[in-house]
Structure 1
Amino acid sequence: MIRAQTVVARTPSALLASLDRFHLQSKRKGDTLLFALSAPSDALSIITSHLKSHFPRHIGCLSSPLPAYRSYIMCAIALLDGIAFRSTIAGRADPQVGRWHAARHSSTQQLPAAQSNVFGEFNGDLGRINWEDIWDRSAMSAQEIPVELRTVRPEDVSSILYFSDKAPEGIAKALKATFPHSHEAGFLASSTPFITGRPVTLFHDGEIYSDGAIGIALQPSLGHTSLTVEFPGLVDLTPDLHITSSEGNLIVTVDHGNPTRLLLAAMYKHGLDSRNVLLKDDEFYVGVMSGGKVERLHRIISGDPSRGTIALGTMSAPPQGSIIRVGLWTSE
């Protein structure tokens, strides 16, 4: 990374002035600009045109504002030296619950090759099929790595940053398979149907896309580098806990107990009214610990006190044996 900055402005003109200064201070003009922009719809055209004129090589997306700055215009920008790419690899399709006609129509279509091969391997014994494996293969079937990365050697890529639509499974698996030793950080673009008329809005070198992913592959930097991740505003509600059972995106038991009731007890201990706190913008998270620090966060999307399970906003919950803490991230 060459330069990075987050601009918070009250007006479009103030933001444009900050972008002008950032451009003037950027000595290397051939690098790629990465940006995430949150702005009202009537200001988007002038801001994105400004970014495009200053930085013809760019990747970016429209994002949601931080809770404390909803009335402001925000633009996070970074100037990077790397290989930008555009991906059309599909992720998992949205489930169509209760749509009988759609299901009936699709049942007459031939299965993709990847799924057909899976069924063929079992010679009709459906009891032996690993359904999760089937879905994983279907997300990757007939897909290739983005064309810009096909001639890049795996050892020449240290990190990959990308913005994706709401189905990143395909690009995530392709990057991990092709560059197994690199670090990937993927960000889901915000929904923008009421802002631009697109499901998501992605920018790449003057083009605008409504799906897929865009990103940049970074080469190893000279010398030793270190990365520290902090989560300001995250308040621990529990001490370290051990996951004793998980399945899919569900935490089933924690320390052989009911995780939802444990969360409710922790809320009560910290003076949080479970009936009122859920009506606010506060969010609860499960933090996976490593070396005494939070390594990654998963948002809690629901809990069932009777069954005990906690559902996380992720494809897979932390596995059995993981050390976690439950925390609260407030909007203040």
Structure 2
Amino acid sequence: MNSLLRRTSAFAQRTARTAHRRLWVSASSTDPSLTAATSCCVDTVCAAVARAHPVGTAQTSGRLNDISRRAACFVLVSQTYPAADIERLGDELKQQLRSVYPDVCVSGTVVDEVLPNSGGSSGNGLSLLYYHPEIDQGPSSLGRHLEPRPFYIGDEHGRQRLREVAVGRWHNTVTDRFEDFKASTRWHQGLSSVTRATSHLKLPPELSNEIDDPAKVRFVLTASDKESRQTLDALDSHFPHAVKLGIVGSQTPFLNGREYTLINDSGVYDSGMVGFAFIDHGSQLQESDRAIGLPYVTNNGLEAISDVLRIERCKGNVVLELESGDDMHSLIAAIRQRRVEDSSARADGRLFAKVTRFRDASAASESRQSSESESVVFQVTGGSPAKGGLALDTLRDLTAGHYIQFFMISRDATRSINLEDTHSTDASRVEVCFCASDNMPAKGESYFIPRQSNHGNLFGGITEGGFSYGKPTACTGASARKDNGSVLSGSVECAVPGSTVVVKLK
């Protein structure tokens, strides 16, 4: 008890010395009743806000009710709860969270499993990420705070369902230069280009007309269906300074008749993208003061079966030729050998590919120093090495001159999430972690999160659809900007089993 009092006192002293204060809170519950789980999570939020903002700090003063000082709640819920309870979850959360703050907006989705905020094994339940606006009364307290702007983007905004109709895609070389010109024009106008397909996607007013300076958007947190490519391109183009992080929801047709269940402040949707754009109304932040960390991605459980090979020819998302004529034959031999060595019933014969800008690790390490996208991993979904073509699970273009390495699922793959080492003990810091996995009920496997005392709170979820992430354009370097439209530019979609992405919030 004395140790707890000392830590609480130390936190209060640190926050008292600052003229601004943000508070991120994660809460989770595995209670089989969604009503009870909601109450438990709200109690956790209330307790965290009370510890950070002692009685007497005027949390309900009139000036805090302004729309630019809303609170936000991003929710993940497993599909083990009754459909009717999930449908009214958004309204229930808003009603209960008003006891913490008068103006709260809610967004989120249904997932396979949620991550416990204090470590341990993933499981069924409810998990919340709550953002509380600053409440300090000092003269400079209005100088810096984040405004959460809820939004919904769907088919009515011009979104096309590209994944439903494509495996391997390439374009007519006769019209390359004309298409390049049109793609460049669309990009500068804030529209997108997906493997050279025309896009008519327009962002809704709450993300376009109602934001005076797009450069102030620092963080975009989303939940979506699997058709997010065009939306991500539009967000990358319109908000180049923002970190993007999103989770693909679980499909719920047998739960409530919806393809997906996306919870938004304005209702519940069965397709599209929902989320928050966090707008920084303060002065330009220095890198050392970054409140939103850069995405940290790991691809666990993969075993290399080939060398790093140069891509000589490709079209769209299809690899046509590697640097040596024997490379494809070597890949076939490696796949066969692997299947001979592991002939058990649980053997996984899927093939994956990692695409990089550099062949050797030292060059990739130098790239990481400038925060460029050093590599991305995709599943191989079509084609045949014997026939000289492999299609990757991406709607972006491959680029001749980049490098590729092939992988298969490791025979001793584990579902462990290893977070980056950190020495912070700030209770207001949260690590947001999204994971991609095979169908959880069928596999019967859970993720395990080893926790250390020096880690902050954890918020996250697991889905078969995976996640998306993107770094600010200013952090991707000249080579990434040159590769607009390629798999190494812009936000990345990842559905590779065992992959995780972590973003630190403070």
TM-score, normalising length: structure 1:
0.70
Aligned residues: 300
For structure 1, the 5+ residue unaligned runs are: 98-126
Structure number with higher relative contact order (C-alpha < 8 Å, ≥ 6 residues apart): 2
Q: Which residue of structure 2 lines up, in the alignment, with residue 33 of structure 1?
A: 73
CA distance in 2, matches of 1:145, 1:64: 29
CA distance in 2, matches of 1:90, 1:243: 34
User: What amino acid does structure 2 have at the position aligned with 1:59?
Assistant: S
Tell me how far 1:202 sits from its aligned partner.
Answer: 0.6
User: Could you tell me whether the CA contact under 8 Å between 2:224 and 2:274 is conserved in 1?
Assistant: yes
For 1:18-57, what aligned pairs fall within 5 Å after superposition?
18-27=40-49, 30-42=70-82, 45=85, 48=89, 50-55=92-97, 56-57=104-105
Tell me how far 1:85 sits from its aligned partner.
Answer: 1.3
Match of 1:73 among 104, 116, 124: 124
Match of 1:58 among 106, 123, 127: 106
Q: Which residue of structure 2 lines up, in the alignment, with residue 306 of structure 1?
A: 386
User: Could you tell me whether the CA contact under 8 Å between 1:161 and 1:185 is conserved in 2?
Assistant: yes
SS at match of 1:92: coil
Q: Which residue of structure 1 lines up, in the alignment, with residue 316 of structure 2?
A: 248
Percent identical across equivalent pairs?
20
Tell me how far 1:302 sits from its aligned partner.
Answer: 3.1
Q: Closer, same or farther in 2 for the Cα pair 1:19/1:173, shift >3 Å?
A: same
- CA RMSD in angstroms comes to 4.1
After superposition, give the CA deviation of every residue in 1:66-125 in whole Å (9 maximum; x if it has no partner).
8xx99931445323452221223232246998xxxxxxxxxxxxxxxxxxxxxxxxxxxx
For 1:151-300, what aligned pairs fall within 5 Å after superposition?
151-152=210-211, 153-205=213-265, 207-219=267-279, 222-223=285-286, 224=288, 225=290, 226-227=293-294, 229-231=296-298, 233-237=300-304, 238-257=306-325, 261-267=329-335, 271-273=338-340, 276=343, 283-289=350-356, 291-292=364-365, 295-300=375-380
Q: Closer, same or farther in 2 for the Cα pair 1:25/1:166, shift >3 Å?
A: same
Tell me how far 1:194 sits from its aligned partner.
Answer: 1.3
Q: Which residue of structure 2 lines up, in the alignment, with residue 140 of structure 1?
A: 199
For structure 2, the 5+ residue unaligned runs are: 1-21, 54-58, 60-69, 98-103, 115-119, 132-145, 166-173, 184-192, 358-363, 369-373, 416-506
SS at match of 1:231: strand
Tell me how far 1:308 sits from its aligned partner.
Answer: 3.1
TM-score, normalising length: structure 2:
0.49
User: Could you tell me whether the CA contact under 8 Å between 1:23 and 1:54 is conserved in 2?
Assistant: no
User: What amino acid does structure 1 have at the position aligned with 2:276?
Assistant: I
After superposition, give the CA deviation of every residue in 1:100-154 in whole Å (9 maximum; x if it has no partner).
xxxxxxxxxxxxxxxxxxxxxxxxxxx648689698587533x432211223212
Q: Closer, same or farther in 2 for the Cα pair 1:315/1:53, shift >3 Å?
A: same
User: Could you tell me whether the CA contact under 8 Å between 2:107 and 2:275 is conserved in 1?
Assistant: yes
CA distance in 2, matches of 1:12, 1:217: 31
User: What amino acid does structure 2 have at the position aligned with 1:84?
Assistant: P
